Amino acid sequence: MKTFTLDVEYECDFDLFGVVSSSREHILAWQLNQSLRLRLVKQQDLIYDLLNQGRLVISNYLHATEHFTLRLLRNRSIDPSVLKKPFLAPDVKEYDYLIQVNNGSGELAGEALLTQLTALPVVQYACQFDPNSLKFKENLLF
């Protein structure tokens, strides 16, 4: 019997930032709200049930307007997990949080946002990634 495999390539059209911060997620969200004049609101946690492997529960904050969307995602599962790598993006597991920006412009795009992130007192380090280069980029598609 022949087995067919479906290979799907996704194109990610958003900016992705990794943030290293020892602060709790609600404190980081509040700092981002104050600094960037946003209104990040806690959403229902994202749940990934991985067949016969375990489950990831990811904390999720969202700011959405008709022009752009910004998400603050915790990179590590908030529930205890039996997975060896309980991360939303295991390729960049050294980052505590991920910030996903769709259609960002002005101070919410690229280098300008990276400068704003590194200026926050609760952020130890921030970096911008090309989401298309990540192995587990499908986890970031909502």
Rounded distance between C-alpha atoms, residue 140 and residue 57, angstroms: 13
Among the ranges given (15-29, 58-72, 82-96, 112-126), the one the predictor scored with the smallest mean pLDDT: 82-96
- What is the number of alpha carbons within 13 Å of residue 86 lying toward its C-beta? 16
Tell me, what's the pLDDT at 48?
Answer: 80
Taking the model in full, what pTM does it have?
0.83
Beta bridge partners of 72: 61, 99
Per-residue pLDDT of 54-80, as tens digits, reads 778 889 999 988 888 899 999 888 877
- % residues pLDDT > 70 (the chain): 85
Model confidence at 17, in pLDDT bands (50, 70, 90)?
very high
Interacting residues of 90 by C-beta distance below 8 A, sequence separation 6+: 135, 136
